[in-house]
Amino acid sequence: MNTPVIDFLRKYADSGILRCHMPGHKGIINKYDITEIKGADSLFEADGIILESERNMSRLYGTKASFYSTGGSTLCIQAMLTAMKIDGRNITAIRNVHRAFVNTVALLDLNVDWILPEYSNGILSGGINHDIVENHLKNNGKTCLYVTSPDYTGKFADIKALSEICRKYDAPLLVDNAHGAHLAFMPENMHPIALGADICCDSMHKMLVGLTGSAVLHTSSERYASCLRQCMSMFGSTSPSYLILASLDLCNKYIAEDIRRDIAENMGYISDFKAKYKEFVLSEGDCFHITVNTAKCGYSGNEIADILRENGVECEYSDENIIILLMSPKNTRPDYTKLCTAFEKALDYAEKRDIHDMPFLTHLPEKAMNVGKAVFMPCEEIPVEQAEGRICASLKVPCPPAIPVAVSGEIINAECVEIYRRYGIKKVMVLK
Ligand SMILES: Cc1ncc(COP(=O)(O)O)c(C=O)c1O
């Protein structure tokens, strides 16, 4: 697989040319950090090396078109929702969205019809009832369906089934696949585009070898292939990082040459780990998201995470009930050996206690106004204990995973207060 962006950057850096252009560090910080000089193409008007690299990626993923983002999946989500606004669609969304979705809804003043998932222990993850989805699409006018899959714990939505329902109601299926860039290269292709999604975003920095901030917006649709780049340009910086673009170019080479071998090796190590701790490691979902239900065996996830840290392992996420260990195809056998040693220590030293299930929303909080109105009104920060009955302003979410409890414009109720408390959120922003 060729790497047009990297090749250009190398050639330019080696040429010894005098850089009478941005950036001001003149190559001292990093010789590949350049701006849009002649030959370097331009992200939002790509017709040269960037377009060539994007087309490489599109071929690897089997998409109609794939667009690079140097603003993470956040920028991709902004672009896909802009495309829905241009189409005059409202949004039907499964509630366990990332805050990037809610912020974009506010900026674009979109109308969201929420569907609560059937939560499984906390607000991060849950099953999707297809009959409920169908009902919403049937009654929701011109809409689209927005799904987060895999979610933060690695749980998959049934994208194939959802795409069939969406087709019935002429609703595009948008998938936040920020955690699933590797899925196209699993033994069976499990990528949302292969399973019928119209548009999806992949954070290449989460599961693949892209630099932080790298992501790709994929589409299977001719219609959206022609407008998504323009949509992205409305939110993206006019100075996209060439280091990030180069890392996307490198992802292509990695995917073409090594990823399948690395995935196969890691799947073996992960299944050994899961088999060893099968009484509390979730077996379903994406194998690279190792979600450990510590509470099931009477351990606090936060305490296990602390002991793992003392033993040289930092996890992606912990709360009182679970920890999430995020692996990738780039992990190696010694990593798993170290993880097992640290995990054994954690189980030896952690105290057994009574741990209650994490709370989740049983009903949507009452809506007082649209997200887009609430976000731009005067607000104040108050202690969570005083928040019941007040209207949520901007989002306060456990970070990561940045999944909202009450959404801006909703009235914070006792259930929300309890969720905030259990996720360690002490203050919330409410309307004055
Ligand atoms: C499910 C999900 N969607 C979107 C995002 C935003 O992605 P990025 O950080 O690449 O902008 C995240 C980030 O954590 C996420 O977890």
**Distance (Å) from CA 129 to ligand 1 centroid:** 24
Residue 148 CB–ligand 1 contact under 6 Å: yes
Q: pLDDT tens digits for 220-265?
A: 999 999 999 999 999 999 999 999 999 999 999 999 999 999 999 9
CB of 98 within 6 A of ligand 1: the answer is: yes
User: How many other C-beta atoms can be found within 10 angstroms of the C-beta atom of residue 57?
Assistant: 23
User: Is the CB–ligand 1 distance for residue 210 below 6 Å?
Assistant: no
Q: Is the backbone peptide bond immediately before 400 cis, with ω within 30 degrees of 0?
A: yes
Contact 101, 146 (CB under 8 A): yes
Mean pLDDT value across residues 183-194 = 98
Q: Is residue 410 a contact partner of residue 392, using CB atoms and an 8 Å limit?
A: yes
**pLDDT over 70 at 398, yes or no:** no
Nearest CA to 288 out of 309, 276, 273, 303 is that of 273
- Does any ligand 1 atom lie closer than 6 A to the CB of residue 215? yes
Biggest alpha carbon distance in the chain?
66
Checking 39-43 for CB contacts under 8 A at 24+ apart, the result is 39/8, 39/12, 40/8, 40/12, 40/242, 43/68, 43/70, 43/236, 43/240, 43/245
282: pLDDT confidence band, cut at 50, 70 and 90? confident
Instruction: Say what the pLDDT of residue 15 is.
Output: 97
Residue-wise pLDDT tens digits, 148-180: 999 999 999 999 999 999 999 999 999 999 999
- Ligand 1 atom having least distance to the Cα of 215: 10
Give the integer Cα–Cα distance in Å for 280 and 273.
Answer: 11
Whole-number Cα distances in Å, 208 to 155, 262, 328: 18, 11, 7
Q: What is the mean pLDDT of residues 401-427?
A: 92
Q: Which two tokens stand for residue 257?
A: 């040459």
Domain range 260-349, its CATH number among 3.40.50.300, 3.40.50.720, 3.40.640.10, 3.90.1150.10: 3.90.1150.10
For residues 399-427, average pLDDT: 90
Least confident of 110-124, 249-263, 391-405: 391-405
pLDDT for 82 equals 98
Q: Is 103 in the pocket of ligand 1 (CB under 6 A)?
A: no
Mean pLDDT of 6-14: 98
CATH number for the domain whose boundaries are 371-431: 3.90.105.10
At 400, the pLDDT band (50, 70, 90 cuts) reads low
Distances (CA, A) of 164 to 1, 143, 173, 198, 279: 34, 15, 9, 11, 35
User: What residue owns the CA closest to ligand 1's atom 7?
Assistant: 73
Comparison of pLDDT for 356 and 267, the residue scoring more: 267
**Which amino acid type is present at position 396?**
K
Tokens of 339: 């993880």
| Cβ atoms of residues 393 and 375 within 8 Å | yes
8 Å CB contact between 138 and 169: yes
CB burial class (10 A; 0-12, 13-18, 19+) of residue 240?
buried
Q: Is the CB of 155 under 6 A from ligand 1?
A: no
The arithmetic mean of pLDDT across residues 261-282, rounded, is 94
- At residue 401 the predicted structure's pLDDT band, cuts being 50, 70 and 90, is confident
Average pLDDT taken over every residue of the chain: 95
Model confidence at 274: pLDDT above 90: yes
286 lines ligand 1 (CB under 6 A): no
Each residue's pLDDT tens digit, 31-76: 999 999 999 999 999 999 999 999 999 999 999 999 999 999 999 9
Fold of 4-257: Aspartate Aminotransferase; domain 2 (3.40.640)
Residue 281, pLDDT score: 87
Q: CB–CB of 382/391 below 8 Å? A: no
Q: Where are the domains of the chain?
A: 4-257, 260-349, 371-431
Check if the beta carbon of residue 407 is closer than 8 Å to that of residue 423. no
Q: Ligand 1 centre and the CA of 100: distance in Å?
A: 7
**Per-residue confidence at 399, pLDDT binned at 50, 70, 90?**
low
81 CA from centroid of ligand 1 (Å): 15
Cα separation, 104 vs 99, whole angstroms: 8
CA 286-353-347 angle, 5° bins: 55
**How far does residue 136's CA lie from ligand 1's centre (Å)?**
26
Least confident of 31-40, 259-268, 277-286, 405-414: 277-286
